Structure 1
Amino acid sequence: MSDHMEEQEMEAEALEAIFDTSFEVISSIQPFEWSLKVVPIDCGDDEEEENAQNHVAVKLMATIPKDYPESLPQLDIIVLKGLAEEQRQTVLRIANDESKSNEGMPAIYAICEAVRTWLGDNNVKGLDDGSMHAQMMRRAREEAKSKEKLELQFESQKKEDEMTSTELEEIEVRKRRTEGTPCNEENFLAWREKFNKETEDDLAREADAIGKDKSSTSKKKGGANTAIKDEAIENRLTGFQQFSGKMGVLNMEDIEKAADEAENDPNNLDVEELNLDEDLFDDDEDLDDLDFDDDDDEDINI
């Protein structure tokens, strides 16, 4: 079995599963022949409802070449209900156009859907009426549909023209995000230059901010230290104040207390423990040479 034949049989099985009894194999020998009943509204097995809802219906005939889908199928349209020869030719043209659009792929399902769409748009009574009045009515309906289609196209174009450049740019950005930007040497070099510049600017801003913080902190610390030093100097006691009190009066009690503490301090050396030569202090004759006059006594009393 060739690949084309296997693919054609698989397509036939799929069409039978989709269309059920509306699909029929006319010839199971190559070239295969298939037929499909196409109506605007599928009512299932309810024939009465189908006849009430559908005013037009056709049967699509397809002869499948051996090398299909590489080559196009041969198509024909048989009118089942409600269409004149003019409409049959229109439906056949639509079917062949859809077949060409799907060349190289299984196309029968797509052809049926294109035919069904046209039937749905023209699902009215009287299309098979060949009278002059009926033909005029059909032309009027077709012109109305063409006019409506043109109006829709005009409105769509008008909306596009009203879009601002910003909106178009935003759409382009979204499109680039979806599709992605191809990476090449030119794009990479431009990105790297932009990245390096942004990095340098960030580092410069950080360095400037750090310098300002240090300067502000140094000024604050310097001012605080100066204030502390001034306060310490101002509150510092003099030697006289430490022994006499802040009022300048000699505090004898503190002096005696300090003397007692010094005497009781075990770290202080006792006079008896010192190895002194007492003979040095026994010679009182040397004291006779000293002249103590009245002026000296007055100074001592002061």
Structure 2
Amino acid sequence: MTDYKQEQEMEIEALEAILMDEFKEIHSSESGLSTSNRCFQITLSPQDEEADESTNPSVQLALIFSHTEKYPDEPPLLTVKSLKGIQTGDLKGLKEKLEQEASENLGMAMVYTLVTSAKDWLSEKFAQDDGTENAEEDSAEKDDIIVPHGEPVTVETFMAWRDRFEAELALERAKLMPDSALAAPKEKKLSGRQWFESGRAASKSVAPAAESSDEDDEDIDFDDDDFEDDEDDMLEHYLAEKSDSSAHSSRRGN
């Protein structure tokens, strides 16, 4: 057999521990309930106002209840009244809401559930003005894009940033490019044979050879690969020249 009295006493002790100053016992004549049983009043404020104890709440609600003989297998007697700033029509709607929830929670201690529901109702009902202001502030903040240092981005500042970014990007690309891609085109390289023949031509003209400088030597650029490819041709050319020279000397001797 269920010991209803014991369950009710345990719930009252729990509510006192949780709600503390918000919870108190009142005389049945003050409750507005048709009962001679013990009656209790819980003072409630909207959630956001309750968080700041120094704030004088703009609205306050009293949730009043009394256990029935077979509570929690039957709903408690309850009512609500305004302590500050709540209209009678709003109280009627809240009471109907709490009675509906009580019928849905039969079989379990439900008063704290009803308290939570009443607080949520207060927050939704009486924080609408603050919510509207917050929504307007959020909308205004979205109009300005905020950079990490808190500077609003305008069209002008964005364009200036983009120009700097593109310049820095071009500089980085230039650093990554090989030097040969940035240098002016070099003179066409001489093959081994061309280098050899240019040397012969220079040897036949004493004056130009005497006037040549280190800078001229530096300007002559040849490809080692081409030189190796033409090595045999150079040897043949040299031997042919030497043979022609010997034959010419022999004819002069005769």
**TM class, shorter-chain normalised?**
0.3 to 0.5
Structure number with higher relative contact order (C-alpha < 8 Å, ≥ 6 residues apart)? 2
TM-score computed with the length of structure 2 as normaliser: 0.43
Structure label with greater radius of gyration? 1
TM-score computed with the length of structure 1 as normaliser: 0.37
